[in-house]
Amino acid sequence: MTPAPCVAITGAGGSLGQALLRRWHSRGARLIALSSGSRPLQMVDDHGKPIPLQQVQWQVGAEAELAGLLAEVDVLVLNHGVNVYGDRSAAAVTRSLEVNALSSWRLLEQFAAVVSARPADPADDPTRPRAEVWLNSSEAEIQPAFSPLYELSKRLLGQLISLRALDLAGPRLRIRRLVLGPFRSPLNPFGVMSAGFVAGQVMAQARLGCDLIIVTPNPLTYILMPAATLSRWLYFRLLSGANGGADHGAGPAAADPARRHRSEGRS
């Protein structure tokens, strides 16, 4: 039987963060709620029973402080995000890039470093599943979101995932990308889907083995997003290397081009 994973979710206080915590709880996971706020998170399940979770406060820019905690984690869900709407001030640029792109990228690198010490074959450690990181970008990676800095920062995140997955995804670490359409939350009060519905679809697609998880009513995204990830994979693979370009495709996953294609083509 697969052991219950330890799942850490950023943006835990937000709509999708809470919906995902509920879904993981119903699958028996041990939960770590990573929140930038200090308000205690109290959640109950469908029967009104409290959901046990460890709440940890963190801050963008202080990701290194989570290194010890990440050693416990099997699935890291990077879900935090911010929308500054029409603000184009220097402060808004910094905030959008830091929160939406750079902090997730730093946490991805940090988690990959922690995971690199685990056995390459999950069968060698039957007490824990293969590590996974889920990165919540957005349909804004490839579609207008009527918010220039939101689009810009989510596109940067998407491109960084594609670039770094060439080296970081492998037998020890699975990278999944969540590409979500509009759902209702403080970040987007006009979303057409509910966070609960989106979380359910995300979990279902993860269960089916998808690395590129798309939940949106917009049919174009189902065509454009796989095309974008595949073309980025090809472009980045041809023009970059783990060693400054001298070492094309080096890294834990590069030895098996078919597997890389499966992993990054869909992530």
Residues that bind ligand NAP (CB under 6 A): 11-17, 35-37, 60, 79-82, 99, 136, 138-139, 180, 182-183, 185-188, 191, 195
Evaluated on CA atoms 144, 235, 115, 106, the torsion sign reads negative
Closest CB to ligand NAP among 92 and 250?
A: 92
Closest CB to ligand NAP among 136 and 267?
A: 136
Burial of 244 (0-12, 13-18, 19+ CB in 10 A): exposed
- 235 part of the active site: no
CB of 247 to ligand NAP, least distance (A): 33
Residues sharing a CB contact under 8 Å with residue 193, sequence separation 6 or more, in sequence order: 181, 182, 183, 184, 215, 217
Closest CB to ligand NAP among 179 and 254?
A: 179
The three state secondary structure string of 173-196 is EEEEEEEECCECECCECCCCECHH
Residues sharing a CB contact under 8 Å with residue 88, sequence separation 6 or more, in sequence order: 148, 149
Q: Which residue is nearest to ligand NAP (CB)?
A: 14
Closest CB to ligand NAP among 138 and 263?
A: 138
Distance CA 144, CA 150 (A): 9
CB of 183 to ligand NAP, least distance (A): 5
CB of 10 to ligand NAP, least distance (A): 6
Total Cβ atoms within 10 A of residue 17:
25
- Which residue is associated with the tokens 């690199």? 116
CB of 139 to ligand NAP, least distance (A): 6
List residues with catalytic annotation: 150
